[in-house]
Amino acid sequence: AQSVTQLDSHVSVSEGTPVLLRCNYSSSYSPSLFWYVQHPNKGLQLLLKYTSAATLVKGINGFEAEFKKSETSFHLTKPSAHMSDAAEYFCVVSGSGNTPLVFGKGTRLSVIA
């Protein structure tokens, strides 16, 4: 069985400062891991994905995440926050086969001018 825990329900940063959104996962299989972003009243947009290739994954809009098997973590980072990054972020895990995605509860990112 798969599960994912987003350690912070809300993160607030100042514009131009680094962003860290934390995610820990549990999986019986070699997992695929994703980060999605959702702006208010919008659908989900894929930021990046890990699928057992390089452990440091680069995504869109300057985001990246590092898969650390020993820590069962997949934290999302960005060097410098922009106002447009304010949104809800979901860490998601998928196991093998046709299993559904398992979503974390989400982290709301606020960016202060």
Partner 1 sequence: GAVVSQHPSRVICKSGTSVKIECRSLDFQATTMFWYRQFPKQSLMLMATSNEGSKATYEQGVEKDKFLINHASLTLSTLTVTSAHPEDSSFYICSARFGGRTYEQYFGPGTRLTVT
Which C-beta is closer to partner 1: that of 15 or that of 101? 101
Say if residues 108 and 18 touch (Cβ distance below 8 Å).
Answer: no
Say if residues 55 and 44 touch (Cβ distance below 8 Å).
Answer: no
**Is residue 35 near partner 1 by the rule CB under 8 A?**
no
**Is residue 86 near partner 1 by the rule CB under 8 A?**
no
User: In angstroms, rounded to a whole number, what is the distance separating the alpha carbons of residues 83 and 13?
Assistant: 10
**How many chain residues are in contact with partner 1, going by CB under 8 A?**
21
Q: Which of residues 48-77 bind partner 1 (CB under 8 A)?
A: 49, 51
Q: Which residue has the tokens 């009243």?
A: 41
Burial 71-87 (b: 16+ CB within 10 A, else e): eebbbbebeebeeebbb
Joined together, the tokens standing for residue 40 give 């208010």
Which C-beta is closer to partner 1: that of 80 or that of 96? 96
- Residue 16 CB, nearest distance to partner 1 (Å)? 27
Which C-beta is closer to partner 1: that of 10 or that of 18? 10
**Is residue 41 near partner 1 by the rule CB under 8 A?**
yes
Among 3, 12, 26, 46, binds partner 1 (CB under 8 A): 46
